[in-house]
Structure 1
């Protein structure tokens, strides 16, 4: 057995660190390397904050609905149903800007600041319209061209999916 352990290549902490850095940079969850008699597997677990955030966001409107009178509850439900249909219908609009990622959309840089823009505002190409938080990183979503904000199709703090229409720029 001692001859076996001598023939094995020692695992260098530097190699493990390099593989861990590759995992961070590429957002992979696992990487495995095999060289001669050395086999090394480095893995990490990535939490899914969007699932956790989506549940509280859905719970808040549900909590508000029971406070309203019985007729207000059915009135609140139908507008939520047409809104996604309208957003889907808007996806064919030539000025629609779609979400490049899954995350939570924010219309202002922080709760104490005003919104980046409002319907009717003129914007220049590259102006930030909103932020999408994904994996605790805030990603600016910018105007793809100069124009006027015709419609904002999402609400502040709303979870968004990849390809979901966010706003219309004309």
Structure 2
């Protein structure tokens, strides 16, 4: 991580910073922080043109976890039960939220029109709200998760046609 030298200057583990930056890209997170005793390093990136982050909704009782399908995008039989169209999958493990806050209208409902890049739901992971954008414009054919439901990596969330 980082260490203080005898003169008080900090030496940075450049490879660790690069690894953390790559992890940000791989997981679509906006920041990550690691700590080891009195040593701490935080890597963050600007959201740029991405959708804004939202405050965490008030905690509600969580439903029982639902087993995530173990299929990949190339595994057609597991996705055979899904409506045809673009399947939006979770980029991370977390909790799915269909609206910006409790009581607010959902970002996307079955039958609603969405535009490419528009936020269609949020996946919260480690207190960070990650806006999930629509990969393409179209009509929402199915919402496959409930508000506040835990989700797994690569789990189908929404189908857009």
TM over 0.5: yes
Matched residue, 1:138 = 129
Work out the CA distance in 1 between the residues paired with 2:157 and 2:108. 13
1:124 to 115, 118, 140: 115
Q: CA deviation at 1:89?
A: 4.2
8 Å contact kept, 2:116–2:133: yes
Relative distance call for 1:96 and 1:90 in structure 2 (3 A) is farther
Matched residue, 2:103 = 112
Q: CA deviation at 1:118?
A: 0.6
Residue ranges of structure 2 left out of the alignment (5+ in a row): 24-31, 42-60, 71-76
| CA deviation map 1:103-156 (0-9, x unaligned) | 100000000311112100011111111000011111111110100000000000
| CA deviation map 1:34-91 (0-9, x unaligned) | xxxxxxx9479xxxxxxxxxxx625xx59xxxxxxxxxxxxxxxxx78x959985457
Query: Which one scores higher on RCO, CA 8 angstroms, separation ≥ 6?
Result: 2
Work out the CA distance in 2 between the residues paired with 1:131 and 1:87. 24
Corresponding residue pairs, total: 120
Q: CA deviation at 1:12?
A: 5.0
Matched residue, 2:62 = 57
TM-score w.r.t. the length of structure 1 is 0.55
Work out the CA distance in 2 between the residues paired with 1:115 and 1:150. 15
8 Å contact kept, 2:83–2:159: no
Please identify which structure carries the higher strand content: 2
8 Å contact kept, 1:152–1:167: yes
Matched residue, 1:15 = 10
TM-score w.r.t. the length of structure 2 is 0.57
1:161 is the counterpart of 2:152: yes
8 Å contact kept, 1:107–1:155: yes
Matched residue, 1:66 = none
Work out the CA distance in 2 between the residues paired with 1:15 and 1:148. 52
Structure 1 outlier segments of 4+, above 4 Å: 22-26, 28-31, 83-94
